[in-house]
Chains A and B, each alone.
Chain A
Amino acid sequence: MEIVLAFVVGGLYAAAIYLLLRRSLIKLLIGLVLLSHAANLLIFTAAGLTRAQPPIVGDKAAPLATVVADPLPQALILTAIVISFGVTAFALVLAYRAHKIVGVDDLDRLTSTDT
């Protein structure tokens, strides 16, 4: 399973970087979204995939003796997903506004402040 996920993560990174290198504004945004997905899946894979019980201890029960899944990576990923959701929403609005004002979907034309 790790091998499959490793290929998925690699593919996502490749696609993200390819899109980031395009000149189109909207492809840049999709690239950024894919980049954050790749990072999330990387955390998920690198932290170790275990087929095991959730680490929930009942009231007054003894501590778990069997192998349990590590909940921390999932908590990290959840946080990262929420953050990237907010950032993506902002970036979409920014791209929309920039497109309205500049009038082109071309990163090479965003040069009015360069001298």
Chain B
Amino acid sequence: MNLWLILPIVIPLLTAVITTLMYPTLRAQRWVSLGGATALLVAALGLLNDVWHNGIQVTQMGNWRAPYGITLVADLFSALMVTLAGIIGFAVAVYSLTSIDAARVRFGYYPLYHFLLMGVCGAFITGDLFNLYVWFEVMLMASFVLLALGGERGQLEGAIKYVTLNLMSSALFLAAMGILYGLVGTLNMADLARKLSATAQPGLVVAVALLFLAAFGIKAAIFPLFFWLPASYHTPPVAVSAVFAGLLTKVGVYALIRVFTLIFIQDVAFTHTLILGLAGLTMITGVLGAVAQNEFRRVLSFHIVSQIGYMIMGLGLFTPLGLAAAVFYIAHHIIVKTNLFLISGVVERMSGTFELKKLGGLYRAQPGLAVLFLIPAMSLAGLPPLSGFFAKLGLIQAGLPLEQYVIIGVALGVSLLTLFSMLKIWNEAFWKPLDDRRPLTEDRRSSVALFIPIVLLALLTLLIGFGAGPIFALALRAGQELMQPTDYIRAVLGGP
């Protein structure tokens, strides 16, 4: 029984329960939530440390040996994802202190927020496919309510699209799992990997793999399944869209990487080439969608889609370096994208709008905020020496020896367009003089809680950029682990 594996699930659960019990006292809920998020971050770092020093960690729940019981397992990739969830959970919990209104807190914002974190962490460390489905549903249920909480017209419209497509994806996932169980008779991921390596029906397995690709593809918002994302992510309060933007689609990407490195590696030439093609199309459609938008959060939402393409590209290349670059990219992206959403919230608070046409003059009014925007924005576009540059460099280095020049060209072209749309936001919101008479308002006291997470995440972006060496070494080890599933299988099932 490894405590580090249990804590990332138990801490958010307890926090959610305690905040539910304290529902009449809003102030106490806020501080309990902050405490819970801090504890989650500490536990996640503990897990990362444990996995880094002692290798893959496994716990069999209820002492039922795998493949009979539910297995919790953390390799370096899982541990890193839990750590990122901890960082984002903490940053957004701080941001929520003053940005979430009393009405939403009264209707259960904090319990839902921690249930969401529990679902995300559970999905990262489960070793069982059906358990993954259950964690997905925990996460989705919390996200449904968070998205609709408040009941504004835009929110409800966004929520209907989001709920429908995510339920479609869950139904596909469930169907694929049923067929897979009929084929193999197990749902433990390590056991599946072992049994499928000697399957008699490779064609049928590839068909099931494509069902999983569609199911996780909807969650990860890859081309052509991404339409729910830009339709809904700009509607809820900023703290909610920030945590969605940072974590939710990445759970889909995590699931894709997990099943397509561990379980479905029968016909790599077909499945992973398909993934590579989808990656290119995802990048292009996402970035073109972003260029056409004129609302701060909608631009950012389309960029999530575009960036998912880069992560999937690392999976499609299917080499240790490619997967390492994908892992590095996910780490960089989660921090940068959450930060950009948090900044959009501050901009909205000062100017009262997300519309780029109506914004302006923020550089003159708030030079500090302008610098804080430039760090993640330029990192997203991939300018050296920020974190995005090294993420893209890794992907391109992984693509060159495979002679995948088309996808490399697409990746480079898309990052130019990313730079273009980040500069569009910069020009419209920060640089353009504001001819409006409206004064830029700011409440000093509440803005402290807004700026702390932004500064923290910007520092992390700089840290990943300037300390790229050690962090890339960590990603490389994670990539090598992913390409060597035998270690994972042995850790879960035991034996030779």
> A: which residues have CB within 8 A of B?
20, 25, 28, 32, 35-36, 38-40, 42-48, 72-73, 76, 79-80, 83, 86-87, 90-91, 94-95, 97-98, 101-102, 107, 110-115
Contacts and interface: CB of A to CB of B under 8 A. Distances in A.
B179 A35 contact: no
A107 to B, nearest CB: 8
A18 B159 CA distance: 21
Contacts of A39: 171-172, 174-175, 178
Contacts of B168: 20, 32, 35
Contacts of A44: 178
Interface residues of B, number: 40
Contact of B181 (A38, A46, A86, A97): A46
Nearest to A114: B231
B420 interface: no
A56 B175 CA distance: 27
Given A42-B179, A43-B178, A112 B153 contact: yes
B181 A43 contact: yes
Contacts, number: 110
A114 to B, nearest CB: 7
Interface in B253-299: 293-295, 298
B154 A46 contact: no
Interface of B: 130, 133-134, 137, 140-141, 144-145, 148, 151, 153-154, 156-161, 163-164, 167-168, 170-172, 174-175, 177-179, 181-182, 187, 231, 234-235, 293-295, 298
The 4 closest A-B pairs by CB, nearest first: A43-B178, A46-B182, A110-B157, A39-B174
Given A42-B179, A113-B235, A94 B154 contact: no
A115 B178 contact: no
Contacts of A72: 181
Contacts of A42: 174-175, 178-179
Given A35-B168, A46-B181, A94-B163, 10 more contacts: A20-B164, A35-B171, A36-B170, A46-B179, A87-B144, A90-B145, A90-B163, A95-B160, A97-B151, A102-B153
27 contacts: A20-B164, A20-B168, A28-B164, A35-B167, A35-B168, A36-B167, A36-B171, A39-B171, A39-B175, A39-B178, A42-B174, A43-B178, A80-B133, A80-B174, A83-B134, A87-B144, A87-B167, A94-B144, A94-B156, A101-B153, A101-B156, A110-B157, A112-B153, A113-B154, A113-B234, A115-B294, A115-B298
A114 B228 CA distance: 12
